[in-house]
Structure 1
């Protein structure tokens, strides 16, 4: 159990993790987004780029010196071993940066937004509670298609790399249902925010 009360927020692609995280931030929680940390590490001349280029070759950088995401995505979908090699570089860096940010956080409690919290295994031991943002799979698909301009089969391929909805829900201490309207989220966030403050 971490020394400070920490919530691990997760959910499948298109479930609305960022939206929910923003609502908790408005109520005073410190949000640390591991996706943002990963983007900074792999951005132009990011801290992970020398290791990524040494491992995968200079062609994995775009003209700005950032990781060529489309090229890397295509490689890791095609070669599972490449995905493991990339994760071996990124995951320790993401973990260290996340824990450092959590130590510096000034909010009433810390919320770590970790898309692959359930898949990673080790993050579950680093948080006090796991909060899953849930919505029906057809809603996920429609949201991601609209947001990212991807075809349905591309969205479903991404979803297939994540744990099934039932497995994610089984790992949850708390669940927010985001299958409906945005207005339905606030009461759920308020209830959990009140609960989390009781642990402080």
Structure 2
């Protein structure tokens, strides 16, 4: 074997090894995004299961705002549908509505001392608040995983393999601006 043949073979081997390293990195990032989504999905499912209990406790107080409860129920259904279809833009919009509705329930509950003192209501409020915080943490991790994935598939030379093996960009999980707005407690309490 001549020196030039050995050199060429060495370059091919190094290039293939480098390609394998890049491919494995892309696969790892793809699975990190899937894992981050699965973690969010678990918390969304848990919260989905807790919301009917909260609504039932609130319904026990006849004068509690049925419009607020109906909004939360509708938003819950939208979140479930978007979650099942893995439709992240729709999920983000539905999450915004749901979080806004939950904020209204908790704010309106301030006007009902009996409800606020109800042990079951307090446990559910605490549980749902903890789930909301967990969802926010997982959303941050998901978006970071998506960002790393999306940047990597656009960088050279990774983009060559990403295009060859069809690694598509992943969408960020963004919630609607409704969620970011402050809750007008005075308006909710009618004061």
Same-fold call, TM > 0.5? no
* Higher helix fraction (1 or 2): 2
* Higher strand fraction (1 or 2): 1
TM range (shorter): under 0.3
Question: With structure 2 as the length reference, what TM-score do the two structures score?
Answer: 0.28
